Amino acid sequence: MVARTVACSYLIPYRFGSSTPQSEAEPVGRGNEGEQCTLETLYTTGNSLEEPGFLPIDLRHPFLFYIGHLAAFAWNKAAPLLRLEPFRPEFDVLFERGIDPDVDDPAKCHDHPDVPDAWPAVEQILAYRDRVRAAILACGKERVTSALDGPDGILDMLLEHDLMHIETLYYMLAQYERERKPYVDARAPAPRVGADTQEWNFVHIPTGAAALGRTRPSDGLDAQAKRQFGWDNEFGDESGLVVHVHDFRVAQHPVTVRQFAAFIASGGYKDANLWRDADWQWRKKQGVEYPASWRQKADFGSGRYESTPSSLDQILKGFELVGALHRSRDLEAFQDVPVFCSLAEARAFAKWKQCRLPTEGEWQRMAYGRRADASKVDALAVWQRTREDASATPGVHGNFGFHCTLPCPVGSFPAGDSDFGVSGLIGDGWELTDSEFMPLRGFSPSPHYPNYSADFFDGKHFVLKGASWATDAKLVRPSFRNWYQFNYPFVFAKFRLVMDKVHVHEDATS
């Protein structure tokens, strides 16, 4: 229990290739000068941050905010239950919550603490974090267990909150300038697989039922289910969770880098007819000509939007794949991995191919449905077919839990294929859906974090499912729902195509 508490309220050091936290003293890799460095040092030392307030994505706070935020979140949730007195109340407020401003109008944002003119010094934030950690640990195992590990799942909330923000930091780090990016000896994927992954193979998903979430622990679930934590948006009334999904056809694999490059070469970013109005306006305003996960090589222009290569061959040779822990890699060597892009870009590609993206219900159906029983809606994953409490394994069922620190070629993990034969649903990148992030019927805000989901039921955020390479295995569960704005381009997010016009009755949202 105490070890679980240590994992909260600071950046969790990870051993790449597994999802197991390690001690701070153990290295996860080596920095530019060969020195050992933990994940924490990547964000707190001059090895990666020459300016402590460095801001790689202007729609988020700087790196150092998250050091204070993870500590403040843990303190604000745990201290009242542990009856601990505040020692730095101004930090409790300043680092209480991050930002997710409207991409189209960043002046619009959910409720959050005022952004200071100057952030506190890194040394002050680290001292705050360390004191939070020490204060919680000083309470002892019995007291912490009694106060935080009850049916409300506060301890699990703290841990999962940290895990999600670690992924945030990685996709922020991916946008760091190439020359200044820290490098560690992390596992990279093999560049290609044997099968011809550029062929479009569509899988038929028959009409059937799907479950979008799960019932609350108090609604008659067994003891094992009661112990599994979930965020408020995962829960709803039993009668409203099941949706009826008409048959459809879905691409066996996610769209690859090469397939997306062909879209660019065809002029897809210049054809307004392929884009929804809001998506096109964003593309024009921001000057977007290719995914934020790509970077143009210097000999093809000096800026992201200058002198863009036009032919398929030029694109594959003229761009690099942006990595978080690796220096940029030639796109040509990674043309079989899933492409990362925004929902706006994915929708334009889908229209170019006369297809569309799946809805949340369709995604649940293709991922967790049963071929033999269309009415079965227990939402069990492939790894749960023999034991319902089994967990997904990084490197076996998909590329998640830091198995590889870049996306792997599609088709690399056949053990994770769904019952229908759909591949790569879990890992590499979150899967985009075209379903607005909305409350499930019977939604009730968490009493411990009431604005966690509710602030984003705004029609601009959309559901993502599955996991990315930087998603901890603890977060891989059928009911987990991620969400981002349709034009937020920095997430590790992939997509796949759905064919045929179908009508999906998804009335589980309120």
For the chain, which residues make up each domain, given as ranges?
Answer: 2-180, 199-510
- Helix axis angle, 343-352 to 277-286, nearest 10°: 120
Which pair of structure tokens corresponds to residue 426? Answer: 């879990």
The reported pLDDT for the residue numbered 504 is 44
The reported pLDDT for the residue numbered 324 is 65
Strands (E), 158-237: 202-205, 208-211
The reported pLDDT for the residue numbered 12 is 37
DSSP tag of 29: E
6-26 residue pLDDT tens = 334 333 333 333 333 333 323
Which pair of structure tokens corresponds to residue 278? Answer: 């809001």
- 308 vs 467, which has greater pLDDT? 467
The reported pLDDT for the residue numbered 66 is 87
Which pair of structure tokens corresponds to residue 452? Answer: 């966690």
Q: Given a cut of 90, is residue 484 above it in pLDDT?
A: yes
Superfamily of domain 199-510: paralog of FGE (formylglycine-generating enzyme) (3.90.1580.10)
- What global pTM score does this model have? 0.86
Burial string for 40-65 (b: 16+ CB within 10 Å, else e) reads: bbbbbbebbbeebebebbebbbbbbb
124-138 residue pLDDT tens = 999 999 999 999 989
The reported pLDDT for the residue numbered 103 is 87
3-state secondary structure of 208: strand
Inter-CA distances, 27 with 10, 12, 163, 185, 286, Å: 16, 12, 19, 10, 39
Token look-up 């222009």 returns 301
SS3 content of the chain, % helix, strand, coil (to 5): 30, 15, 55
Q: Beta strand 493-494 with 430-436: parallel, antiparallel or unpaired? A: parallel
* Gap between the Cα atoms of 163 and 476, Å rounded: 12
| Whole-angstrom Cα Rg for the chain | 22
DSSP tag of 446: B
* Gap between the Cα atoms of 481 and 212, Å rounded: 9
Residues β-bridged to residue 446: 449
CA atoms within 13 A on the CB side of 255: 29
* Gap between the Cα atoms of 68 and 49, Å rounded: 16
Token look-up 């009493």 returns 447
Most confident segment among 73-87, 166-180, 306-320: 73-87
* Gap between the Cα atoms of 119 and 62, Å rounded: 9
